[in-house]
Amino acid sequence: MSTGLDALTQANINTWLTGNYDDDTKSKIQQLIDEGKETDLTDSFYKNLEFGTGGMRGEMGVGCNRMNKYTVGGATQGFANYLKQSFPDQAISVAIAHDSRNNSSYFARVVADIFSANGIEVYLFSALRPTPELSFAVRHLGCTAGIVITASHNPREYNGYKAYWNDGSQVVAPHDKNIVAEVNKIQSVDEINFAGNESLISFLGEDIDAEYLKTIQANSINPDVIARQKDLKIVYSSIHGTGITLVPKALALLGFENVSVVEAQAEPNGDFPTVIYPNPEEAEAMSLAVNLAKEIDADLVIATDPDADRVGAAVKNPKGEWVLLNGNQMASLIIYYLLDAWKKAGKLTGSEFVAKTIVTTNIIDKMCETQGVKCYNTLTGFKYIAAVIRELEGKEQFIGGGEESYGYLIGDAVRDKDAVASCAMIAELTAYAKDNGKSLFDFLTAMYMENNFYYEGLISLTKKGKAGAEEIQQMMADLRSNVPATVAGSEPVTVIDYTNLTSKDLKTGEITSIPEGLGMEPSNVIQLILADGSKVSARPSGTEPKIKFYVSVNAPLTQAEDFDATLESLKAKVTAIQEDLGLK
């Protein structure tokens, strides 16, 4: 063994070479050693791939810091142990789904085998399916938990493992940390029971698809509008992911008859051959769909990520140019449409609510306030929105919600972001706009004219290593102790510190507490509210060496013709705030 490797890395390599691992794994490790690939060996073995509070994600390959049969196996054995502790002498069942990534179906089968080997009943999707359908299946089948094998929109080298609880949401406290503790107790491959029990494994297919699609059809508010606009020209891309299994079916079920699928991206493929990143937040990933839309003069472009929980969209502006809508804009448009439709249908009784994350645009708060609907703000992560729905079930009715990172939810049949249902709703609101002689862009403009033009900017700073982690800590400490007197000419009036769940009025010095619960718990996030209504949020990542700064600004939009000028003015204001805070 080379002396270039540290002691822990070498010890981990030795464990895998001498332990009860398969010959193919050992052969691949030996090949890396023989070829002197010390960097690859270090990256693969210097630590254990972390099972965090929502699961795990990493590059695929051999080693304890990679996604493979054994790391997936350890996570599953730990999760199985926790389920058996939590539900003693009870029947336990788990639903399992996977996306289109390389090895996803294999990992899903490994997970199924381990759960069944531990006496747990398994419902395994027989082929790839969207993540939101897994969430639905957990609740529909009355399962104790769920697993999705996916790395969402990460690069092709990655795969991941998402853990769900019996309400169909990703696990939250106290189960999240308790599961992590059980996973960390698995110290040897010999503790993992890989010997599956076929009698405990059932397969899911079109029957559960039909039940899930019924809930999407039930979300539709204006079927008469869709009937009149059934020829709405929609371009859809699944970006080689799971969306192809259900999004076209959902659109057809609602009555849309003119859907053009981007064929070059329709086949599920874990290599994602037509894109750099399979992420509908990226213009490059949307380019084939937009090009098709230009060819056929479409009304709407929608595209989903590999596990179909996020959706990107594009529309034509008044100049006939195709523009991409960001996550804040689409979340706002969906809520704008839902609130208006519920009001017109006489369904707003005072017990309805919307939920969003604290870094998502405040135009949603403003629209809810206007309609007399509660808007709950949660920590970042859709599991917190799901927690609000769970806690208010039977007391208040959930209309919809979303987050700035392209994830939205309509209705409560699913307890995670749902791109399939969102595609259907986005198509419906586009049809509604067209039925009223408008484009979706016109609809966006009208929303801004009624509520102010809100614009958000994001800077994500990567700070690697120990020094980087310390720098991030210092940046947060500075914001807490040295609030600037002005930011881009506006005075900070409130500091919200989610670490201790307090809000401080900088004028009076009064401190008020933010109640814990309803999607809220202590978290390392700080927000500055400025006198002009601007908002700055600072949030270190819990999984990456990054710190993110979200800036939200707004201004009146008095006429549609001022859209571009107002947008440029708001962009300049975001830049000024970022520069004033020294963000580069």
SS3 state at 579:
helix
Q: Do residues 457 and 581 lie in contact, with contact meaning Cβ atoms separated by under 8 Å?
A: no
Amino acid at 232: L
Residues ≥6 apart with Cβ < 8 Å to 289: 235, 236, 237, 262, 265, 301, 302, 303, 314
What's the CA gap between 41 and 46, in Å, rounded? 8
Tokens of 52: 């965090």
Compute CA distances 19 → 14, 113, 157, whole Å: 8, 21, 26
Q: Do residues 137 and 207 lie in contact, with contact meaning Cβ atoms separated by under 8 Å?
A: no
Q: CB count, 10 Å around CB of 582?
A: 9
Q: What is the DSSP-derived secondary structure letter of residue 171?
A: P
Apex CA 223: angle with CA 221 and CA 224, to 5°? 120
Tokens of 31: 């090949």
Tokens of 328: 């804040």
φ/ψ bin of 548: left (φ > 0), alpha (ψ from -120 to 50), beta (otherwise)? beta
Q: Do residues 353 and 375 lie in contact, with contact meaning Cβ atoms separated by under 8 Å?
A: yes
Is the Cα dihedral 186, 148, 460, 276 positive or negative? positive
DSSP-assigned beta bridge partners for residue 538: 526, 549
Distance of CA 278 to the CA centre of its chain: 14
**If DSSP states are collapsed to H, E and C, what string results for 142-157?**
CCCEEEEECCCCCCCC
What DSSP string describes 233-289? Answer: -EEEE-TTSGGGGTHHHHHHHHT---EEE-GGGTS--TT-TT-SS--TTSHHHHHHH
What's the CA gap between 436 and 523, in Å, rounded? 44
Catalytic residue among 152, 169, 490, 534: 152
SS3 state at 427:
helix
SS3 state at 140:
helix
E strand spans, 33-173: 55-59, 93-98, 121-125, 145-149, 158-164
Environment class of 194 (CB within 10 Å of its CB; exposed 0-12, middle 13-18, buried 19+): middle
Q: Do residues 130 and 242 lie in contact, with contact meaning Cβ atoms separated by under 8 Å?
A: yes
In the annotation, is 537 catalytic?
no
Number of residues in the chain:
584
Distance of CA 76 to the CA centre of its chain: 22
User: Which residues form the catalytic set?
Assistant: 152
